[in-house]
């Protein structure tokens, strides 16, 4: 599927379909294409909107969870979006949780998959090994249960990112911000219906993290996908879409 990326003002984004808004937030090394399966599965019935977060370009002084949340607030206001179903993977889930706490009137439902915010084990917290393709390949494959999902195209993309000093500095700043910003005390106040979809074999935000989210978020339900790592919507898109479609139908 060829994705059409739009540019309006300072924002780059995908905006497909019409109807109720599904706002999708990618992770630290993520891209708009991570959500391709969700676009294919839901753009016929929903308006699927995916902003490209300025992870590699934002001022270093603002490179953190709060700065990214500010960006999403600006984007939502710019596009005049409301009553969002907010889906976030990894760092995107963390940003989505902060956004929900700040803007509860804007959010209708939450969907978290491999979300940070409680605990994570990623390569973002230290300076990635520049020029070491094998290391980047191994760490990218570590994201998935099936290492074949880490295609050469995906590894090349991450390798290019790690070879840029300015991008690496922002990645480290954002990753450290996420690790410092534990949300255990904050998210107990969130009362939005929340779907948790987790890879049973996630080694970055392991299943115990999903159970803790499930315990803390009052109106949450948890689903695991077997033989699946940190990005269920990429590794098992059909099963992810099935769980999401059923949840949306049951929580209109």
**Distance from C-alpha of 216 to C-alpha of 185, rounded to nearest angstrom:** 9
Joined tokens for residue 34: 């991570």
Q: What is the pLDDT of residue 121?
A: 64
The predicted-structure confidence for 140-150, as pLDDT tens digits, reads as follows 888 999 989 98
Q: What is the model's pLDDT at position 129? A: 60
User: What is residue 173's predicted lDDT score, i.e. its pLDDT?
Assistant: 92
| CA nearest neighbour of 109 among 65, 64, 51, 46 | 46
Q: b/e map of 157-181 (b: 16 or more CB within 10 Å)?
A: ebbebbeeeebbebbbbbbebbbeb
Give me the pLDDT at residue 241, please. Answer: 98
Q: Residue 123 burial by CB count (10 A; 0-12/13-18/19+): exposed, middle or buried? A: buried
What average pLDDT does this structure show over 233-248? Answer: 97
Residue 99 pLDDT = 98
The residue-averaged pLDDT of 122-130 equals: 51
Pairing of strands 84-89, 47-51: unpaired
Q: How far apart are CA 128 and CA 146, in angstroms?
A: 22
Can you give the pLDDT at residue 122?
Answer: 56
> What confidence tier does 31 reach under pLDDT thresholds 50, 70, 90?
confident
pTM for the whole thing? Answer: 0.92
| Rounded Cα–Cα distance for residues 246 and 241 (Å) | 8
Cα(56)–Cα(219) distance, integer angstroms: 34
pLDDT digits (tens, 9 = 90+) for 177-214: 988 889 999 999 999 999 999 999 999 999 999 999 99
Tokens of 219: 């109106």
Task: Give the torsion sign (CA, 70, 110, 108, 240).
Answer: positive
Residue 52's pLDDT band (boundaries 50, 70, 90)?
very high
User: Which domains are present in the chain?
Assistant: 6-250 (3.40.50.1820)
Q: Which residue has the tokens 């099963």?
A: 239
Q: What is the mean pLDDT of the chain?
A: 92
Give the confidence band of 1 by pLDDT, cuts at 50, 70, 90: low
Pairing of the two strands 21-25 and 107-113:
unpaired
């Amino acid at each position: 599927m060829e994705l059409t990326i739009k540019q309006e003002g300072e924002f780059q984004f995908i905006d497909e379909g019409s109807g109720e808004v599904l706002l999708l937030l990618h992770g630290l090394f993520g891209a708009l294409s991570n959500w391709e399966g969700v676009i294919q599965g839901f753009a016929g019935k929903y308006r699927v909107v995916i902003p490209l977060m300025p992870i590699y370009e934002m001022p270093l002084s603002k490179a953190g969870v709060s700065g990214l949340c500010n960006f999403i607030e600006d984007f939502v206001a710019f596009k005049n979006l409301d009553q969002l179903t907010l889906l976030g993977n990894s760092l995107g889930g963390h940003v989505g949780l902060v956004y929900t706490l700040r803007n509860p009137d804007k959010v209708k439902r939450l969907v978290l998959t491999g979300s940070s915010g409680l605990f994570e084990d990623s390569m973002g917290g230290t300076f990635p090994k520049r020029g070491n393709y094998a290391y980047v390949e191994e760490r990218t494959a570590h994201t998935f249960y099936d290492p074949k999902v880490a295609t050469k195209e995906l590894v090349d993309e991450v390798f290019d990112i790690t070879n840029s000093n300015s991008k690496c500095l922002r990645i480290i700043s954002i990753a450290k911000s996420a690790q410092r910003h534990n949300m255990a005390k904050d998210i107990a106040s969130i009362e939005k219906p929340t779907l948790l979809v987790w890879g049973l074999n996630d080694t970055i935000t392991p299943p115990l993290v999903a159970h803790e989210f499930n315990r803390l978020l009052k109106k949450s339900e948890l689903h695991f996908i077997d033989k699946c790592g940190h990005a269920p919507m990429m590794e098992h898109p059909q099963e992810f879409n099935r769980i999401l479609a059923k949840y949306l139908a049951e929580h209109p």
